């Protein structure tokens, strides 16, 4: 382990610790209520701390490709949006309006668009003139899908780790196709993983550390940077887009299924509730750790199905499995919802 890495790990602990302590003094804390699971007042500044740490990483690890550095820099702005939302509880219009600004900057001004979503043998999904609106909506979709997963301790941390681990695997498997100047993509992913792992020590108060939540600053930030990492991967043409979709499969399935079911039952789309998968599993297992394990493992297992179908058959088969498994997931989620209503 290099001295730089050791310094970076220590910096993570120090900034998260200081941020946690300051948050209580500045009243940047989340209060318990009937909808929430936690029973104690808790700081919600984990996300802003991680975004600041990753800004420092640009200085410590000065060999990142410029596009990757830009993602982290603009990502800090969206973590500020999340912090404002945590503090003042913005309505959905205000929240989306503020999210649009940094997304607009990267897509329109920096031309950070998803140009194609893959060749599937029978058809080629090139976006053409739809590239900008498709990218825009996809990023908004994923940012808010990540926000849906920030409901219990560790949930968003562990699922984000599962996504980044998959992306690291894909980068490693396709390293022969990556340009020499872009080899540091694996280092970049590793640098993002470190503060998320260390944050979990604070999230669960291991070693009597001050308890911290990611907050909207964290969920929006992680959704934002992972969205643009996926776009970066797709545009470099060393990973097929369907495999990138599989890397975030649990986020896609859960976000779509919840909102489809809510639409079907004339419920508010963005209204907070306890109909999320982690709430359901927590109610059944009575264990936060087991719930985290099941959902994070599900993301990796589902990715493995998509990856194997891609390798052993073809990209069209992988695409077909993605659709079929979503329909099964949706049917099961809807059946459980109906069961709850009847009871």
**Cα distances (angstroms) measured from residue 275 to each of 130, 239, 333:** 33, 34, 9
- Mean pLDDT computed over every residue of the chain: 88
The answer to whether the beta carbons of residues 254 and 275 sit under 8 Å apart is: no
Per DSSP, the three-state class of 268 is: coil
Rounded to the nearest 5 degrees, what angle is found at the Cα of 289, between the Cα atoms of 286 and 295? 95
When pLDDT is averaged across residues 159-170 and rounded to a whole number, the result is 96
* Token pair recorded at residue 331: 């049917």
For residue 113, the model assigns a pLDDT of 92
Q: Which range (29-33, 176-180, 297-301) has the least confidence?
A: 176-180
What is the C-alpha separation between 92 and 102, in angstroms, rounded? 17
What is the C-alpha separation between 241 and 255, in angstroms, rounded? 19
What is the C-alpha separation between 165 and 74, in angstroms, rounded? 23
For residue 313, the model assigns a pLDDT of 94
When pLDDT is averaged across residues 299-321 and rounded to a whole number, the result is 96
Burial class for 256, CB neighbours closer than 10 Å (0-12, 13-18, 19+): middle
Residue 335 has pLDDT above 90, yes or no: no
Report which listed range, 37-46, 104-113, 288-297, 332-341, is most confident: 288-297
Kindly list the domain boundaries of the chain, sorted by start residue. 3-342
Closest C-alpha among 25, 13, 30 to residue 216: 30
When pLDDT is averaged across residues 138-162 and rounded to a whole number, the result is 95
The answer to whether the beta carbons of residues 39 and 207 sit under 8 Å apart is: no
Residue 243 has pLDDT above 60, yes or no: yes
Predicted TM-score of the model (pTM): 0.93
Q: How confident is the model at residue 181 (pLDDT cuts 50, 70, 90)?
A: very low
């Amino acid at each position: 382990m290099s001295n730089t890495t050791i310094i970076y790990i220590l910096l993570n602990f120090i900034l998260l610790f200081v941020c946690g302590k300051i948050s209580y003094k500045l009243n940047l804390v989340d209060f318990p209520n009937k909808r929430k699971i936690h029973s104690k007042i808790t700081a919600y500044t984990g996300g802003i701390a991680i975004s600041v740490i990753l800004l420092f990483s640009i200085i410590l690890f000065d060999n990142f490709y410029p596009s990757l550095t830009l993602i982290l820099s603009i990502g800090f702005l969206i973590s500020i949006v999340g912090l404002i939302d945590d503090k003042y509880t913005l309505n959905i219009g205000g929240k989306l309006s503020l999210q649009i600004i940094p997304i607009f900057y990267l897509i329109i001004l920096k031309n950070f668009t998803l140009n194609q979503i893959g060749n599937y043998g029978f058809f080629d999904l090139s976006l053409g003139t739809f590239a900008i609106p498709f990218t825009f909506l996809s990023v908004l979709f994923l940012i808010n899908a990540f926000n849906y997963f920030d409901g219990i301790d560790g949930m968003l941390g562990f699922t984000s780790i599962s996504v980044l681990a998959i992306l690291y695997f894909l980068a490693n498997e396709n390293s022969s196709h990556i340009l020499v100047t872009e080899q540091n993509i694996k280092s970049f992913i590793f640098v993002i993983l470190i503060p998320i792992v260390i944050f979990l020590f604070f999230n669960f108060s291991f070693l009597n550390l001050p308890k911290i939540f990611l907050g909207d600053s964290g969920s929006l930030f992680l959704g934002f940077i992972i969205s643009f990492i996926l776009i970066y991967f797709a545009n470099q043409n060393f990973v097929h887009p369907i495999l990138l979709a599989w890397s975030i499969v649990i986020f896609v399935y859960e976000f779509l299924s919840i909102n489809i079911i809510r639409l079907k039952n004339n419920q508010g789309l963005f209204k907070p509730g306890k109909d999320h998968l982690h709430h359901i599993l927590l109610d059944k297992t009575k264990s936060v750790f087991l719930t985290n394990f099941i959902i994070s493992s599900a993301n990796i297992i589902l990715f493995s199905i998509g990856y194997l179908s891609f390798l052993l058959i073809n990209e069209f088969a992988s695409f077909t499995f993605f659709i079929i498994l979503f329909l099964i997931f949706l049917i099961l989620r809807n059946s459980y919802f109906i069961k709850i209503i009847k009871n």
